[in-house]
Structure 1
């Protein structure tokens, strides 16, 4: 008899055939004929998902059940693949025109099919009947033989049952357990447990309060965490000495801006500056023998972020750089010593959208690559046996945790949503991490209102949308959305409606920009090796996507020239022009560019990486660079938009952000809006819509982070 899961079935006027992985829409009045023009072949996994939903109709099917049935429980692959399958199935079944769609998402439960499947008849052939009869006879004979054996075995089984049951209970993996350790208003991050696991140190940021280090005593749960560092400086990330009497961390002075690697003796509160650094969020770790500190810094001129090693035994020791010093195509961003002292794990960034994990043999400096093509690594920590790492990543706006075996590079998901910066893994399978909850949205601000307004969401959705750019010629906003589980290029009208997806790269696209005539979109995406990135051009007239010729490893945000024949982007050589005819790129200026707008055929207005102010370069004579807005006023970097009469831009002032307008004719700056700090993403973008006199930008919001104690079966 045929397996029902292999049978074809109808959903309304649509027939699904698992034998050739196809769907076919029948025309009314001609249900028996096959219209090949309406027949669509789908990926086998898509068909399997739909078939399983049909088998379970009208029940709700959980995501875990679908991943188990279709992807054999491989959550690392299945989590994104399922989201992608549901999206494609909804697109293909959209002609059925069912209210709410053919496949319903049941919040926090799973998916449910809304149309009843009508299966082909289950027909028993003569051969089916013969095989069924033979099978029954065989089963009858087997049962007679087995009955005698079973009676003799019952006594033995009974005696072993209790012992086996206890053994299985002992071996059975524990369920995932999460305990919230901090519930303070604000943002707690970078947790680190002392070696005796009594003390927790972490950094905390609260609205209106300087970021400082805090210490929590688990033996005195009733006592609030104690602030360790003063409000005159900023500290966030610390590591314990081996005897738990000292802490080491990066500290940045408010008054001078100077950053130093600092030692704090807990008994006396004495602080000692050890070495220079570049940021108060510097990754830092101590060697298992307690002799060295290793940390990430870029404090030396012309050197990107790299690893420095400092000997603690020498009072006047100078930190030694272990990373590449010049002509580097990467930047080190995080690190962790293995417990056995053999390895140093490194998170290494190759471009602004690609990062991977390496381990360095500390005996000979040889390195081994463990991953290929991650997006953004958010913390590294070793398992106690030094054979595996725990790490967190952010992919298309979603964070999660994983383990990776250093010999096989096999990755297993922890399925802990929001996991960031795991640390202090114990033999009992526990660690601490900070849970990160943040969602990017596009918001608009209406200009010219008599009553001052506020920021309003452009799209009401549980999906992250970011980096908008508007084209008057196209009459649409282009942006990046994670609606399908991947960051892809989408567009909408000026009201955030009539959405359309334009790429299906299943990758990480970023920073889309319209061409002057509204026919093309430039964006960046990972290269073929998932190490660097390339500039891509989407031609909306023919839907083709092409990569611009470039020998560079990393490209900044693209911006078009006035004629729409080339794209400017920042490279290791400076502002570089890339041509649509794929002729050799041309370096315009050694200066870097964060965001640029072509003001005319010979004028490019741009902001710079690491340098405040808004600048104008003469493309005919690139050595002529003038400052349009003072560095004391303009510190926006990415969040600004140019119009014919002036510039809108974001500024930060203490614990608030401001939206300002600089008028070109009068050179005056007018504040337009005040919002809490971190409301506007520092990595977002801003665009002006003249038809509605609105600004559209990436809305962020103050992130909520809490410290979590996790016990997980994969950590044992």
Structure 2
């Protein structure tokens, strides 16, 4: 019998032949309507397999899991991205059928459906039916004989089922389907959950509308008891770790008035708080060793040192704080950590560049390290299984978060298929874990500045995908931005109304921070290097569509900023503000300062923010040691969310419970508020741009993120 997966069929004027993975389009020529013109395309086998599954199931919806199971044998780690890529390519190749409407429909959070009825070859179907009838007759005869055999075997089957019943029950328990239970439903944003060793208490950090972040304690054995706030409103706290006996909490705390950060110890029975060590952020990773003798955390509080691991001994007076990461001239920074339950390993999340991270494990006795992953965009937390043989971790790829589990010996990775998973932590030996579920939609929003009636932010592009980091060119009259429309973060452009969209890169990796050249012919952006251990500055020439990497010996590059003439690009490196030339001559270090975002205001002046301190700065490129302050750090407290215009500077400022858009007038030097929006409305890593033709200010709209603490039971972690 012929394999149904090899049957040819038609979609309108298109014929699909799975035997050679071909797609043939037919159309009548203009000179002779009876004449037929054919165009044959060859597609990748996986693309044809996806189309075949949709055709065989027409007009039903086929879920993403079913497609991954049938086409990629259930390998969700590979299939998730590959499926998105296949659907995108099928829509492109089948675009000639668009005259009759869409070809493949996306059913949100479910899967895909073919919208054109397939017409399978009649001869092949008839042959199938004849063979089916013949086979059915044979089966009927065999069935009559089998009845006698089945009757005699019934007793044996019953005894076998009775004997194996206990084992089947145990296997069923091991193969439980995924179960997700919400542990918090409070207004606000809950994150970084960790459960006490006895499984009773849950501690987490949370924003409450109108209040600073604090730590909260929940009794998991009694839902009727109210959640208890542990820390005061005079400081901010988000992340904590339990002592081995569950009597104390260790956490990072930042004072609201002075911004000083300290590692604190809280004794729960007495509410006594003791300061232990300096830190740099209230969101720093923190963990206690399994023997309870050491506290490890991530910090960058020492001058000229990147984020690294610090270890503090517990229970001893006047102990020295020891750094256990790279000291100087580092090509990476450590971002997260977790002790294994057996005390043999420490798992470390390491960032090689500002757009690439990976997971390492360090043998604590020897200090030897192993690398487990290659080329992850962002790791969003990790935790060990009870046997210390596997790690559960979450990632963010092209704006989507999900959970995975990796075997540290084989390095095999399996997907948990838990959308939105962030910062997972396992609960003892229960086979369960807690995490905070994260959902956020990035949009490009605009504010009309010349309206007589007060206005607000409006989305520029109405879509279910993420758009971010806009930059406008007055020469090209187009907007460039990053979009994950194709399943990957790529470079796209549109007109200033968000229409006439065009995709310009197909790198299938993370691209970021595009900027137009002054003449509107080129776009600079950054993307990972070939080893995913750093990034490079790339230049896209729109006329030739060629992409080149600028010559550089540096490992990591910050956001690009074009020179006034457009012959070079400035970016921050380990050496400071560095100028890279389009003719690939050796780069030049302008000065030793670290630039966040920069704009050339003239041939000799660069306006920029610094990543090490607040304020807005101006450097004379002819005298690079001459740096002056344009806006004081008391008034200008953003690194990325600002833009330079001929009249002045628009910038974001954060306040308790809100954000503001402000304008600094270059003539009067006065700062005027423009708009007030809710807290977290604008992305901290977004960008701003100004469109003079429509007097619009564009920025990345973040939206208030929804985070809730969830409890997960999953067959892969039992």
- What's the TM-score bracket when you normalise by the shorter of the two chains? over 0.9
Structure 2 CA distance for aligned equivalents of residues 109 and 590 of structure 1 = 51
1:555 match = 557
2:697 match = 695
Q: CA deviation at 1:7?
A: 2.4
Structure 1 CA distance for aligned equivalents of residues 697 and 125 of structure 2 = 67
Q: Give yes or no for contact 1:24–1:35 (8 Å, CA) kept in 2.
A: no
Q: Which shifted more, 460-469 or 136-145?
A: 136-145
Determine if the alignment matches structure 1 residue 318 to structure 2 residue 320: yes
1:499 match = 501
Q: CA deviation at 1:44?
A: 1.2
Q: Which shifted more, 355-364 or 11-20?
A: 11-20
Q: CA deviation at 1:677?
A: 1.7
CA deviation profile, 1:656-687 (whole Å, cap 9, x unmatched): 21111112122122211111121111100000
1:62 match = 63
Determine if the alignment matches structure 1 residue 711 to structure 2 residue 705: no
Structure 2 CA distance for aligned equivalents of residues 540 and 182 of structure 1 = 49
Determine if the alignment matches structure 1 residue 153 to structure 2 residue 157: no
Aligned pair in 2 of structure 1 residues 294, 586: CA closer, same or farther (>3 Å)? same
Q: Which shifted more, 622-631 or 388-397?
A: 622-631
Q: CA deviation at 1:358?
A: 0.4
Aligned pair in 2 of structure 1 residues 116, 130: CA closer, same or farther (>3 Å)? closer
Determine if the alignment matches structure 1 residue 89 to structure 2 residue 90: yes
Counterparts of 1:461-480 in structure 2 under 5 Å? 461-480=463-482
Q: Give yes or no for contact 1:250–1:280 (8 Å, CA) kept in 2.
A: yes
Structure 2 CA distance for aligned equivalents of residues 492 and 589 of structure 1 = 36
1:327 match = 329
Q: Give yes or no for contact 2:199–2:427 (8 Å, CA) kept in 1.
A: no
CA deviation profile, 1:91-121 (whole Å, cap 9, x unmatched): 2212212465111122343211111112233
Q: The residue matched to 2:427 in structure 1 has which SS?
A: coil
Alignment match of 2:214 (pick from 212, 216, 236): 212
Q: Which shifted more, 253-262 or 485-494?
A: 253-262
Aligned pair in 2 of structure 1 residues 129, 488: CA closer, same or farther (>3 Å)? closer
Q: CA deviation at 1:150?
A: 4.8
CA deviation profile, 1:226-263 (whole Å, cap 9, x unmatched): 11111111111111111111111111122332211111
Alignment match of 1:443 (pick from 442, 445, 468): 445
Determine if the alignment matches structure 1 residue 649 to structure 2 residue 651: yes
Q: Give yes or no for contact 1:277–1:298 (8 Å, CA) kept in 2.
A: yes
Structure 2 CA distance for aligned equivalents of residues 100 and 348 of structure 1 = 47
CA deviation profile, 1:644-664 (whole Å, cap 9, x unmatched): 121111112332211111121
Q: CA deviation at 1:136?
A: 9.5
Counterparts of 1:207-606 in structure 2 under 5 Å? 207-606=209-608
Q: Give yes or no for contact 1:429–1:714 (8 Å, CA) kept in 2.
A: no
Q: The residue matched to 2:577 in structure 1 has which SS?
A: strand
Q: Which shifted more, 23-32 or 612-621?
A: 23-32
Q: CA deviation at 1:137?
A: 11
Cα root mean square deviation, aligned: 2.3
Structure 2 CA distance for aligned equivalents of residues 419 and 50 of structure 1 = 30
1:17 match = 17
Q: Give yes or no for contact 1:283–1:333 (8 Å, CA) kept in 2.
A: yes
CA deviation profile, 1:155-204 (whole Å, cap 9, x unmatched): 31222124435532320211111111111111111111111111111111
Structure 2 CA distance for aligned equivalents of residues 131 and 67 of structure 1 = 30
Q: Give yes or no for contact 2:444–2:461 (8 Å, CA) kept in 1.
A: yes
Q: Give yes or no for contact 1:382–1:425 (8 Å, CA) kept in 2.
A: no
Structure 2 CA distance for aligned equivalents of residues 573 and 177 of structure 1 = 50
Structure 2 CA distance for aligned equivalents of residues 123 and 216 of structure 1 = 64
Aligned pair in 2 of structure 1 residues 130, 101: CA closer, same or farther (>3 Å)? closer
Aligned pair in 2 of structure 1 residues 230, 631: CA closer, same or farther (>3 Å)? same
Q: Give yes or no for contact 1:260–1:276 (8 Å, CA) kept in 2.
A: yes
1:659 match = 661
Structure 2 CA distance for aligned equivalents of residues 283 and 12 of structure 1 = 57
Q: Give yes or no for contact 1:468–1:696 (8 Å, CA) kept in 2.
A: yes
In structure 1, runs of 5+ residues without a counterpart are: none
Q: CA deviation at 1:550?
A: 1.1
Q: CA deviation at 1:35?
A: 5.4
CA deviation profile, 1:359-412 (whole Å, cap 9, x unmatched): 000110000000000111111110000000111111111111111100011111
Q: Give yes or no for contact 1:512–1:523 (8 Å, CA) kept in 2.
A: yes
Structure 1 CA distance for aligned equivalents of residues 529 and 10 of structure 2 = 42
Determine if the alignment matches structure 1 residue 43 to structure 2 residue 35: no
TM norm structure 2: 0.95
Q: Give yes or no for contact 2:212–2:656 (8 Å, CA) kept in 1.
A: no
CA deviation profile, 1:493-547 (whole Å, cap 9, x unmatched): 1111111111111110100011111111111111101111111111111111111
Q: The residue matched to 1:638 in structure 2 has which SS?
A: coil
Q: CA deviation at 1:346?
A: 0.4
Structure 2 CA distance for aligned equivalents of residues 248 and 167 of structure 1 = 43
In structure 2, runs of 5+ residues without a counterpart are: none
Q: The residue matched to 1:594 in structure 2 has which SS?
A: strand
Q: CA deviation at 1:2?
A: 2.8
Q: Give yes or no for contact 1:348–1:355 (8 Å, CA) kept in 2.
A: yes
Structure 1 CA distance for aligned equivalents of residues 701 and 664 of structure 2 = 21
2:53 match = 52
CA deviation profile, 1:424-457 (whole Å, cap 9, x unmatched): 3343321111111211111000012111111011
Q: Give yes or no for contact 1:235–1:250 (8 Å, CA) kept in 2.
A: yes
Structure 2 CA distance for aligned equivalents of residues 385 and 347 of structure 1 = 20
Q: CA deviation at 1:576?
A: 0.8
TM norm structure 1: 0.95
Structure 1 CA distance for aligned equivalents of residues 238 and 605 of structure 2 = 42
Q: CA deviation at 1:20?
A: 2.4
Aligned pair in 2 of structure 1 residues 133, 79: CA closer, same or farther (>3 Å)? closer
Q: Give yes or no for contact 2:21–2:44 (8 Å, CA) kept in 1.
A: yes
